[in-house]
Structure 1
Amino acid sequence: MFTSVNSRAASAYKRVSADTGVSTADPHQLVGMLFDGLMQSLNAARGAMERKEIEAKGQAIGKAVRILEEGLQGGLNLAQGGDLAKNLNGLYGYAVQRLTLANLRNDRMLVTEVIDLIEPLADSWKQIRGAAAAQPATGLGA
């Protein structure tokens, strides 16, 4: 099956845009991008379930699980992160378990449960950047 030139061009633009964003992002922004991608995937999975699109549901849940395991969980420093890193590790592991079950049972409520767990964390992560930017610089000469 062939796709239109406009569709292929739009896809190429999205890939270049995403690659550029990742290559120029600082660590805080990268985690924010992971949270954004995770939330998009979770919402896509829930929507696919509502439309009874099994393949799309599986792809969206698979992407969400990869983001959780390889991105967010994989980026934790359990040796130096203390209780916070351990708690996040447990949360991400629990979310993966719930998403696996959601996929097997085709259960939207389990996806919603994960969204309800992750969304406050993602929102807090975004607020950290804003709070840090609002703090006056100290020790810079004056």
Structure 2
Amino acid sequence: MLQEQDPFNAYKQTSLDARAAAANQHEMVRMLLDGLLEELSRAEGHIEARQIEKKGNAIQRCINIVQGLDSMLDLENGGEIALNLHQLYDFCSRELMKASIRNEAAVLGPVVKVVGEIREGWENLN
């Protein structure tokens, strides 16, 4: 409830909504990847702090973002790049589940690395 009443969080959400509404497809993917990296960091902190419910919520948000990114792929026309991204997103989903089940922050490391590299690739697109 506090977040709903917090003017700063309301401003951040409004700003994010405005950016998303104006974003083209490439900008949207970059925004999702940035959000995923932020949520992965939160999930790691929750695991280390033994905040199980918060960890579960953060990992679920991560999985939702990964599934959203995967659903944006055009596997019929995207060729090898789309297939490779699909396989990387599948890897990330499986590792996120493993991190959640095991409560091991270290399992998130490879996911952060993969997502960071994907994000870097999108950053280099014009």
TM range (shorter): over 0.9
Gaps of 5+ in 1: 130-142
Shift of 1:32: 0.3
Shift of 1:4: 8.7
Gaps of 5+ in 2: none
For these two proteins, the number of residue pairs brought into alignment is 126
1:95 partnered with 2:92: yes
Q: Which residue of 2 aligns with 1:29?
A: 27
Confirm or deny: 8 A CA contact 1:46 1:112 kept in the other structure. no
State percent identity of aligned pairs.
33
Q: Which residue of 2 aligns with 1:135?
A: none
Distance in 1 between residues matched to 2:108 and 2:70, nearest whole Å: 18
Structure with greater Cα Rg = 1
Which of 50, 53, 64 is residue 51 of structure 2 equivalent to? Answer: 53
Which of 21, 39, 42 is residue 41 of structure 1 equivalent to? Answer: 39
So what's the TM-score if we normalise by structure 2? 0.93
Asked which structure has the greater RCO (Cα within 8 Å, sep 6+), the reply is 2
RMSD: 1.6
- Relative to 1, partners in 2 of residues 1:3 and 1:34: Cα closer, same or farther, differing over 3 Å? closer
Following TM superposition, the consecutive aligned residue runs of length 4 or more in structure 1 with deviations greater than 6 angstroms are none
